[in-house]
Amino acid sequence: MNVAPKLSEKEYKKNFTEHVTPFNRDAAVAEANRCLYCYDSPCMDACPTHIDISEFIRKIATGNMKGSAKTILSANWVPLTCAKACPVEVLCEGACVFNDKQEKPIEIGRLQRHTMDWFYQEKPSLFTPASPNGKSIGVIGSGPAGLACAAEGVMLGFDVTIYESNDTPGGLDTWGIAPYKMSQADSLTEVEYIKSLGVKIQTGVTIGKDKTIAQLEEAHDTIFIGVGLPQGKNISLPGSDLKGVENAVDYIAKVKAEKYSQVDVGRKVAIIGCGNTAIDAATESVRLGAEEVYIIYRRGKEEMTAYWFEYELAQKDNVRFFWLTNPVRIEGEGHVQALVCEKMELVAGSAGERKKPQAVSGSEFSLPVDMVIKSVGQDLGDHFLSGVEKLEIANSRIKVNPETFQTDNPKYFAGGDCINGGKEVVNAAYDGKKAAQGIHAFLFPTTAE
Ligand SMILES: Cc1cc2nc3c(=O)[nH]c(=O)nc-3n(C[C@H](O)[C@H](O)[C@H](O)COP(=O)(O)OP(=O)(O)OC[C@H]3O[C@@H](n4cnc5c(N)ncnc54)[C@H](O)[C@@H]3O)c2cc1C
Ligand code: SF4
């Protein structure tokens, strides 16, 4: 592969440093005092975990940092990750009443981070788990869904063990979120805190390989499935076996290990797809030193699934977008040398259907590149879960009761990306917490609130 020259450690540090800086105490109090503490907080409704935002901000203003942390953690077990990674523009901050007045919304994410930085530094004691209730939960996966289920589970008196394939826990909080949003250390801080509540984590254990479903069922009263979407969807392109073809999530995980000089990037990189992960792959390639980065998308800009603010970030990084462009094949001798594409046009589908992209004949062109990163989504894949009786899986989503998160097999509950097809950390955090409450209500029907 035609590898881009390595950067100096100083340049890597600058490129991957977190782009949102922390508040100091005075700035946090000043921002907290700007909040109107709305009675009917629209921000709280817009937060999928429904943190009492006015309350935690009011506590920052009055210097009650412990109370502020308690308000946040009572609703969300991974609030540092959320503070740094939530797409606040379309969640809490997007709902702030200041937007209607054409004023800057309250910086809720940054204030949440201020409280959580204080909390993890000071480590005050906040919660006491209920006495053991004699039942256990086996949690598959240590991403935010699994962590939230486990933390809430121990609070309710369950004996909880998480089984995680990876040697380092945290799921995509540890291995996916762009380093310029948050570091691996932030994710691992939250994992350590959850362990300190009494959650056990067995890493390097893949359910379906190192332990069977039958063994898990034997060991636990209920099982929570929080496996995310472990398999990259494939787009079959001739030339995909050439050196320099990567899957976006795998590539991002290499970057996330934060040993930047050890990750090779091509001088010219093409990313296939235009979701948020594709944008991350593009901006991270630029920050690793790629000279030109292209996003290849078969539909138009208005149909991209990436958030507009992620798109703007990629534009600032000089990523070039090829709209209505379909990859046809990858060419090269041993390693990638070009991506051959064709132009598309949108043609009307049948009544009510959205327009479909169709190849423009004779429009093929060759884009010289050294690396191709496929980012066309994730799915559940061929899974050990197919061995679980009555579990209904359609479109890479496990079907659950939306209130209790119980699956059609009463012993199993599920949450996070594996039930919603891939949303955000904050959705997974909500699902996991609610599932633990669902498990409690199922096993202790008379004592459940
Ligand atoms: C590249 C990328 C960037 C993202 N950036 C953001 C962002 O900036 N902000 C945001 O809010 N969201 C972001 N997301 C989405 C977010 O990371 C996910 O929605 C969230 O992590 C889902 O949590 P989860 O617990 O369901 O799954 P995951 O975080 O995927 O965790 C699942 C865990 O289960 C483990 N596992 C799987 N199978 C098994 C098995 N058989 N046995 C044992 N363990 C198993 C996996 O190893 C993994 O650790 C991003 C996603 C990606 C891919
Ligand atoms: S968890 Fe996310 S959406 Fe909810 S208040 Fe915090 S930053 Fe906003």
Q: What is the CATH number of the domain that holds 36?
A: 1.10.1060.10
Both tokens of 175, joined, read: 């291995």
413 falls within a domain: yes
Q: Are residues 244 and 361 in the same domain?
A: yes
Asked which of 90, 122, 154 is the last residue of a domain, the reply is 122
128 falls within a domain: no
Name the one residue in this structure whose structure tokens are 């977008």. 321
Cβ 82 under 6 angstroms from ligand 2: yes
For residue 449, is pLDDT > 60?
A: no
Distance 268 CA to ligand 1 centre (A): 28
Cβ 230 under 6 angstroms from ligand 1: yes
Domain hosting residue 34, numbered range: 21-122
- Looking at every residue in the chain, the average pLDDT score rounds to 95
* Percent of the residues in the chain that have a pLDDT greater than 90, as a whole number: 91
Cβ 419 under 6 angstroms from ligand 1: no
Query: Could you say which ligand is closest to the alpha carbon of residue 168?
Result: 1
Cβ 252 under 6 angstroms from ligand 1: yes
127 falls within a domain: no
Cβ 78 under 6 angstroms from ligand 2: no
Q: Are residues 176 and 293 in the same domain?
A: no
- How buried is 259 (Cβ within 10 angstroms: 0-12 exposed, 13-18 middle, 19+ buried)? exposed
254 falls within a domain: yes
CA distance readout (Å), 403 to 83, 258, 362, 419, 436: 25, 39, 53, 13, 11
Q: State the total domains in the chain.
A: 3
Q: Could you tell me where the DSSP H helices lie in 156-247?
A: 172-175, 184-196, 213-219
Handedness of CA 112, 113, 115, 119 (dihedral sign): positive
Asked which of 122, 155, 183 is the last residue of a domain, the reply is 122
Q: Are residues 207 and 247 in the same domain?
A: no
Distance 373 CA to ligand 1 centre (A): 19
Q: Are residues 222 and 257 in the same domain?
A: no
Supply the residue whose CA is at minimum distance from atom 8 of ligand 1. 85
Distance 36 CA to ligand 1 centre (A): 35
Confidence at 384, pLDDT banded by 50, 70, 90: confident
Cβ 54 under 6 angstroms from ligand 2: no
Q: Are residues 146 and 271 in the same domain?
A: no
Q: Which helix (H) or strand (E) holds 119?
A: helix 108-122
Tens digit of each residue's pLDDT (9 = 90 or more) over 103-152: 999 999 999 999 999 999 999 999 999 999 999 999 999 999 999 999 99
Cβ 222 under 6 angstroms from ligand 1: no
Q: How confident is the model at residue 447, as a pLDDT?
A: 53
Contact status, residue 374 vs residue 273, Cβ threshold 8 Å: yes
Cβ 273 under 6 angstroms from ligand 1: no
Residue 145 and residue 430: Cα distance in Å, rounded? Answer: 7
AA letter at 275: G
Q: Are residues 251 and 370 in the same domain?
A: yes
Distance 13 CA to ligand 1 centre (A): 25
Nearest to 64 by CA among 140, 122, 130: 122
Asked which of 57, 92, 122 is the last residue of a domain, the reply is 122
Tens digit of each residue's pLDDT (9 = 90 or more) over 331-363: 999 999 999 999 999 988 777 777 888 999 999
Both tokens of 411, joined, read: 């012993």
Tens digit of each residue's pLDDT (9 = 90 or more) over 416-425: 999 999 999 9
For residue 448, is pLDDT > 80?
A: no
DSSP code at position 211? B
Distance 225 CA to ligand 1 centre (A): 12
Q: Are residues 283 and 305 in the same domain?
A: yes
Q: Are residues 29 and 152 in the same domain?
A: no
Q: Are residues 105 and 150 in the same domain?
A: no
The CATH number given to whatever domain includes residue 213 is 3.50.50.60
36 falls within a domain: yes
